[in-house]
Amino acid sequence: MYKSASPSSAVVVGIDGSQWAVNAALWAIDEAISRDVPLRLLYVVEPRGHGDIDPEQEARDLACADVSVRRTLVAVESAEKPVKIEWEVLQGHPARVLLNAARSADLLCMGSLGIAHATGSRLGSTAANLATSALCPVAIVRSGGQHRSAGPRHVVVEIDESPDSVNVLDAGITEARLRGAPLTVLATSTTKLADVHEHIPDENARARLDKRLARHRLANPDIEFNPVTVNVSTMNYLEHHADSIQLLVISRHRRPGLGEIVGTARAVPSQVNCSVLICQHNQRL
């Protein structure tokens, strides 16, 4: 049977039977608890063709949905955390159904790859579409594999001079507190990467960033701030510090665009092996 919960605040996780989706659900548990909202698992059955419904195929699709939901429920319940769990199985185009769910969601979470992309060659197209279109913040969750860093893994927030950076920095602080992690605030210069051969700190930019963060440090004494200003791209920074980063927080309206971060090109960027939280101006956190 299809089940549909009434639209309400929740952390919504798109699931599809893949391990990446299970990882996304496990990642989202603390997000739901911190917001005091349910964790809602959403499986979308995509219609097949435009002719008459094949009852046998429909039964197989529903059986797949049931297995996927149950598998994810077992994983979430095994975490033994105080989170309320809801689930839905809906029919429709996955991107459209998830975009509609995002209208009332506090956060939408997706695995970086889906069952159709099990070779690991590229980011799921649904996740890439949602990253740029959803009406709430979107988290693209990567499992990250093994990490060689002996120290704590940072939350990194990318800021610039745009108004969006106020919300992005607030989101980064919230995420760092949730994870008990240090917060790296990354401000990059406009120097072209082709003209840069090494990390050269800009002392004037660092002084401006320190001044900008002063009130946030006072307001959040429990957060360890690590301000960083470098004249290289964010991608370059991620590549050099990949093993020490667990989450990257960015604006949907960043320049350059989201493509280099979320991997809308043919290959998933090897530098980005952390999860990514994509914020927007009117986000609900």
Residue 21 pLDDT: 92
Angle formed by the axes of helices 19-35 and 164-179, to 10°? 100
Task: Tell me the one-letter amino acid at 212.
Answer: R
Mean pLDDT across the chain, nearest whole number?
82
DSSP for residue 3: B
176's CB contacts (< 8 A; 6+ apart) are: 155, 182, 183, 223, 224
Residue 122 pLDDT: 45
| Phi, then psi, of 197 in degrees rounded to 5 | -120, -10
DSSP for residue 256: S
DSSP for residue 194: G
| pLDDT 10s digits, 133-146 | 888 999 999 875 44
pTM across the whole model: 0.84
